[in-house]
Chains A and B, each alone.
Chain A
């Protein structure tokens, strides 16, 4: 058990224990739905519950058949391909736009900074269903609804605010005399951008890009509005899978998504630690 300070009364000891217990319960409540799907995805039976064999840790009660199912079924393979294609393209666009916007917005001569910032961040704040509905009508006019271009542009718009925020944060400690030093030594603005500004804000750019990618990767509402059958992404396929066919393939896909998200999270944490080291080092 934890060591209590000696001056604690019995009530303080009970109180502190209670707080700790509650904290662990909250964590369990948050994590349980995510963690429980992982063992279930290895279920040998087409059920969403633990079988008796699984609870007895009988090796025969576990299998990889639902993972094989993903590989075997064209609709899942298409969804995975779509998710990565749309996610990567949207991320590239969002990163370029978000980074340049953040750099422009931090320049002192930029007028209406706060207003433009608020405008750029609005896709994050406006309820997604409204954004999605608006995009649907707008993109239909442009005739790009139901196309890859439409979904990519929509997801790029949703991802840009994340890049603006992270790059803006990276620029907050940026010393602009470095830019002057570079220009003074004869480097042109574009050279200066790639050799001086970019290396120093790279952690911010990359974490923004990762956020943008995750945003696209697990987005379902805009896809419901804008994507045709050809552009079905993983979340969209899961959404229809939940209604149309009840089998644990969805759990296998979900487990894969959890692993991908976990890896992205670790990458971000690593980048953050590294940039902190660079600033102090």
Chain B
């Protein structure tokens, strides 16, 4: 294997399965190759198996079947304390009986580094997370954001090539979370470690990651770059989970492999990109993002137009959300920038909504419970 391949497959999950009770699988056939230095996020609702994957890589959980490799070698027979993987926990996991400096020195002392080197590295690590003056304090005397910065520094201080983060910002409030996202990103770019990040917060995943693996029900639904996930979701779960989406029920009329033609309940015909469109004649879902759906005006009308009844508008601040109802009962939302052009519509007024064909996605109907309002 050439160096190029090894770097592209630095961390490999190969058909990994995990069951806690020998009956149901929490992780079903998970495969993922992670490039050296890449920032990969495992994103999914709680209970989707993403944290379990992280714990298996760290060595805290056994692998039921399949293989996990780091740098071309299987790690299943390596104890967690020999894997040399940094880890950041949701609740920091700082040792409360040690000062910040002692916490940072811990992994170095375990490795029996000389005292002078430990001291220097601790000093550098404190500087790295801008907590120079806090070395002598105890974790209990720090705020949540400071604690998480210490935890981050502690996971990096022994220079692991892989750093795992298990919802590290989950316990912080919104402003602090955004600041820490930036901080983590900065450290990742500065130090070049391979980061595997677990979160259920899609905004966090979108802003930080090189690639995102969307988990649901123990299966990776899609693994792609943030823009690809957002713009061309592989199926209706991803379309719904990442960002907001309007769902319109319809039936496939024709499909040329690129563009599908869909008939809606009232007989309107619209066109959309074929993503995973069911065969002709089957029911399907048409997904259009609220920012790609427009209120048709004289100067602005795309190739697809439907009519709907205006219900109400929700003032958000930088944007305004307009809610519409189609004749089959489905609700649609249009997001409009709050500038001078934001229209005022009378409630109940019939309105024409429009979107460009390449902004509409023809998708399968989600299995099981249908999140789309019944027609």
Q: Do A and B come from one complex?
A: yes
- CB of A187 within 8 A of CB of B81, answer yes
- CB of A181 within 8 A of CB of B93, answer yes
- CB of A175 within 8 A of CB of B106, answer no
- CB of A184 within 8 A of CB of B85, answer yes
A183 to B158, CA, bound (A): 13
Given A183-B80, A183-B81, A178-B95 contact (CB < 8 Å): yes
A280 to B141, CA, bound (A): 10
- CB of A185 within 8 A of CB of B107, answer yes
In the assembled complex, B323 has its CB within 8 A of some CB on chain A:
no
CB distance from B77 to the nearest CB of A (A): 16
**Residue of A177, A185, A191, A280 most packed against chain B (CB within 10 A):** A185
- CB of B81 within 8 A of CB of A200, answer no
CB distance from B98 to the nearest CB of A (A): 8
A281 to B142, CA, bound (A): 10
In the assembled complex, B17 has its CB within 8 A of some CB on chain A:
no
In the assembled complex, A199 has its CB within 8 A of some CB on chain B:
yes
A175 to B139, CA, bound (A): 14
In the assembled complex, B46 has its CB within 8 A of some CB on chain A:
no
Which of under 10, 10 to 19, 20 to 34, or 35 or more describes the interface residues of A? 20 to 34
> In this complex, what residue of B is CB-closest to A279?
B96
In the assembled complex, A278 has its CB within 8 A of some CB on chain B:
yes
- A-contact bits for B103-123, CB 8 A (1 contact / 0 none): 000110011000000000000
A280 to B89, CA, bound (A): 20
Q: Which residues of A contact B91 (CB under 8 A)?
A: 175, 177
A276 to B239, CA, bound (A): 49
In the assembled complex, A182 has its CB within 8 A of some CB on chain B:
yes
> In this complex, what residue of A is CB-closest to B83?
A184
Q: Which residues of A contact B106 (CB under 8 A)?
A: 182, 185, 187, 195
Q: Which residues of B contact A200 (CB under 8 A)?
A: 96-97
Within 8 A of A (CB), among B136-175: 138, 140-141, 154, 158
Q: How many residue-residue contacts, CB under 8 A, span A and B?
A: 66
A74 to B268, CA, bound (A): 110
- CB of A180 within 8 A of CB of B60, answer yes
In the assembled complex, B82 has its CB within 8 A of some CB on chain A:
yes
Q: Which residues of A contact B96 (CB under 8 A)?
A: 200, 278-279
In the assembled complex, B270 has its CB within 8 A of some CB on chain A:
no
CB distance from A275 to the nearest CB of B (A): 11
Within 8 A of B (CB), among A161-216: 175, 177-178, 180-189, 191, 195-196, 199-200
A281 to B138, CA, bound (A): 8
In the assembled complex, B86 has its CB within 8 A of some CB on chain A:
yes
A94 to B140, CA, bound (A): 33
- CB of B110 within 8 A of CB of A186, answer yes
- CB of B87 within 8 A of CB of A186, answer no
A278 to B140, CA, bound (A): 8
- CB of B86 within 8 A of CB of A280, answer no
> In this complex, what residue of B is CB-closest to A189?
B81
Given A186-B81, A187-B81, A180-B158 contact (CB < 8 Å): no
> In this complex, what residue of B is CB-closest to A185?
B107
CB distance from A41 to the nearest CB of B (A): 43
A196 to B94, CA, bound (A): 10
Contact partner, B158, options A177, A186, A188, A280, Cβ 8 Å: A186
Contact partner, B89, options A181, A188, A191, A278, Cβ 8 Å: A181
> In this complex, what residue of B is CB-closest to A184?
B87
A53 to B79, CA, bound (A): 77
Contact partner, A184, options B80, B95, B111, Cβ 8 Å: B80
CB distance from B106 to the nearest CB of A (A): 6
Given A183-B80, A185-B154, A186-B82, A177-B93 contact (CB < 8 Å): yes
> In this complex, what residue of B is CB-closest to A199?
B97
CB distance from B3 to the nearest CB of A (A): 27
- A-contact bits for B62-95, CB 8 A (1 contact / 0 none): 0000000000000000011111111101010111
- CB of A196 within 8 A of CB of B95, answer yes
Q: Which residues of A contact B82 (CB under 8 A)?
A: 186
A182 to B94, CA, bound (A): 9
- CB of A278 within 8 A of CB of B60, answer no
- CB of B110 within 8 A of CB of A281, answer no
- CB of A280 within 8 A of CB of B97, answer no
Which residues of B are in contact with A by a Cβ distance under 8 Å? Answer: 58-60, 79-87, 89, 91, 93-97, 106-107, 110-111, 138, 140-141, 154, 158
A-B residue pairs, 4 tightest by C-beta: A185-B107, A181-B93, A177-B93, A184-B87
Taking A180-B58, A180-B87, A200-B97 as known contacts, 15 extra A-B pairs with beta carbons closer than 8 A to each other, sorted by chain A number, are A180-B93, A183-B79, A184-B60, A184-B80, A184-B85, A185-B154, A186-B110, A186-B158, A187-B110, A188-B81, A189-B81, A191-B110, A196-B95, A278-B96, A281-B138
Which residues of A are in contact with B by a Cβ distance under 8 Å? Answer: 175, 177-178, 180-189, 191, 195-196, 199-200, 278-281
Task: Please list 30 pairs of residues, one from A and one from B, whose beta carbons are closer than 8 Å in the complex, sorted by A's number.
Answer: A177-B93, A178-B93, A178-B95, A180-B60, A180-B80, A181-B87, A181-B89, A182-B95, A182-B106, A183-B60, A184-B60, A184-B80, A184-B81, A184-B83, A184-B86, A185-B81, A185-B86, A185-B106, A185-B107, A185-B110, A185-B154, A185-B158, A186-B158, A187-B106, A187-B110, A191-B110, A195-B106, A278-B97, A279-B96, A281-B140
